[in-house]
């Protein structure tokens, strides 16, 4: 392997998404949350600046607070309310080898190939590409082949044959124009909270929510670039005049996942 250099981030972390979500679900259920699966939201009813009901294919739900977390589909969920949330879907793909010929202990980012490699238990995931193609969820095999082709340049023991029969996964990253998510209450509807636009940074969602717990925040539909949190993930107005004492509840998650560090690897041009 010809490596021109690398940057080591000892404080970076990773986890296995399905374990994370299972832990999140279980914690939520312990707190009394009921999940309604396969229940598509079809509209939101409003009255005098509040959301009064969420309409779904399985009936209507009344709620005091409504959180918009529809990922790339968020803009279309609220456009009828006159809210404009600039989000583009950025399609990415991943391939997970259940028994890789080599299992690195560290995550790495293949910088030139723009790929992330993550060990997950005994399997190894290669993920990457950013395809702007609207809400289209088709799998573009040219992109998938691009991922497979770039692996041996960084991990020479791997060959394209290692990926034979591996089903590619695809997902739509909800991308905002400047890469920051939309987190906080809208100014137009006092009980509507935005939690969307996380693009490639789902993992910060929990940390950001924890910070929101101690910050009363208001975000207009197209938010001004005023940041309150030290990590600047929230675009917010300076005060929450409409609802001063309504912090957002955050849920702390323990996944027992082994946390390790990440390497950004740069290949030499040759
Ligand atoms: C290839 C790839 C690799 C990635 N790697 C990483 C990584 O290593 N680390 C990281 O932190 N992040 C990563 N991400 C990004 C991460 O997946 C996203 O940030 C995250 O999924 C965003 O979560 P979300 O809940 O906001 O949106 P989504 O996961 O898109 O969830 C939105 C949900 O809303 C549902 N929905 C939409 N419309 C409706 C409706 N009308 N009614 C009901 N439900 C609806 C959708 O079905 C969907 O389930 C990666 C993404 C991709 C594509």
- The verdict on 80 and 184 lying in the same domain is yes
pLDDT (0 to 100) of residue 212: 47
CA of 68 to the centre of ligand 1 (A): 13
- The verdict on 49 and 159 lying in the same domain is no
- The verdict on 185 and 72 lying in the same domain is yes
Q: What's the rounded Cα separation, in Å, for the pair 175 and 196?
A: 9
- The protein residue with its alpha carbon nearest to ligand 1, atom 15, reads 200
CA of 256 to the centre of ligand 1 (A): 22
Residues (pLDDT < 70) of the chain are 1-2, 202-270
- The protein residue with its alpha carbon nearest to ligand 1, atom 13, reads 200
Examine the fold and report which residue of 175, 190, 209 is the final residue of a domain before the chain moves on: 175
pLDDT (0 to 100) of residue 261: 53
Domain of 132, CATH number, reads: 3.30.9.10
Q: Give domain status of residue 147, yes or no.
A: yes
Is the whole-model pTM more than 0.85? no
Tokens of 270: 């040759």
- The protein residue with its alpha carbon nearest to ligand 1, atom 37, reads 70
CA of 174 to the centre of ligand 1 (A): 7
What residues have CB less than 8 Å from 181, skipping those under 6 apart?
195, 196, 197, 198, 199, 201, 204, 205, 208, 233, 234
CA of 48 to the centre of ligand 1 (A): 31
- Report CA-CA distances (Å) from 106 to 14, 116, 240, 264: 9, 11, 42, 10
Ligand 1 atom at minimal distance to the Cα of residue 204: 11
- The verdict on 166 and 247 lying in the same domain is no
Residues in contact with ligand 1 (CB, 6 Å cut-off):
40-41, 69-73, 77, 92-94, 116, 127, 171-174, 196, 198-203
CA of 134 to the centre of ligand 1 (A): 14
- The verdict on 106 and 153 lying in the same domain is yes
Strand (E) or helix (H) holding 95: strand 88-97
Examine the fold and report which residue of 128, 153, 175 is the final residue of a domain before the chain moves on: 175
Nearest to 199 by CA among 35, 84, 67, 86: 86
HSE value, Cβ hemisphere, 13 Å, CA-based, for 38: 0
Q: Are 85 and 197 in contact (CB under 8 A)?
A: yes
Q: What's the rounded Cα separation, in Å, for the pair 252 and 231?
A: 18
Q: Per the structure, how many domains does the chain have?
A: 2
Q: Give domain status of residue 22, yes or no.
A: no
Phi and psi at 147, nearest 5°, equal: -65, -50
- The protein residue with its alpha carbon nearest to ligand 1, atom 47, reads 70
Domain with 140 in it = 89-175
Tokens of 46: 């409003």
| Residue 104, helix vs strand vs coil | coil
Alpha helix (H) residue ranges in the chain:
17-30, 74-78, 141-154, 204-213
């Amino acid at each position: 392997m010809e490596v021109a250099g690398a940057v080591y981030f000892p404080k970076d972390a990773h986890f296995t998404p399905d374990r994370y979500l299972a832990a999140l679900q279980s914690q939520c259920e312990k707190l009394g949350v009921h999940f309604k699966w396969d229940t598509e939201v079809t509209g939101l009813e409003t009255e005098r600046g509040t959301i009064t009901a969420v309409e779904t294919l399985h009936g209507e739900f009344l709620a005091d607070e409504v959180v918009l977390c529809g990922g790339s589909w968020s803009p279309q969920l609220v456009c009828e309310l006159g809210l404009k949330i600039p989000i583009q879907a950025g399609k990415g793909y991943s391939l997970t080898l259940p028994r890789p010929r080599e299992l690195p202990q560290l995550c790495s980012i293949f910088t030139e190939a723009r790929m992330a490699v993550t060990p997950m238990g005994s399997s190894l995931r290669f993920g990457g590409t950013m395809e702007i193609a609207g809400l289209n969820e088709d799998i573009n095999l040219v992109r998938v082949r691009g991922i497979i082709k770039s692996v041996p340049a960084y991990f020479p023991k791997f060959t394209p044959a290692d990926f034979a029969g591996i089903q590619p996964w695809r997902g739509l990253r909800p991308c905002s124009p400047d890469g920051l998510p939309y987190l906080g209450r809208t100014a137009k509807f006092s009980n509507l909270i935005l939690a969307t636009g996380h693009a490639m940074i789902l993992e910060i969602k929990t940390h950001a929510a924890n910070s929101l717990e101690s910050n009363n925040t208001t975000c207009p539909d197209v938010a001004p670039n005023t940041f309150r949190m030290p990590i600047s993930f929230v675009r917010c107005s300076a005060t929450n005049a409409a609802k001063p004492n309504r912090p957002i509840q955050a849920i702390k998650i323990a996944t027992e996942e082994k946390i390790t560090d990440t390497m950004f690897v740069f290949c030499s041009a040759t």
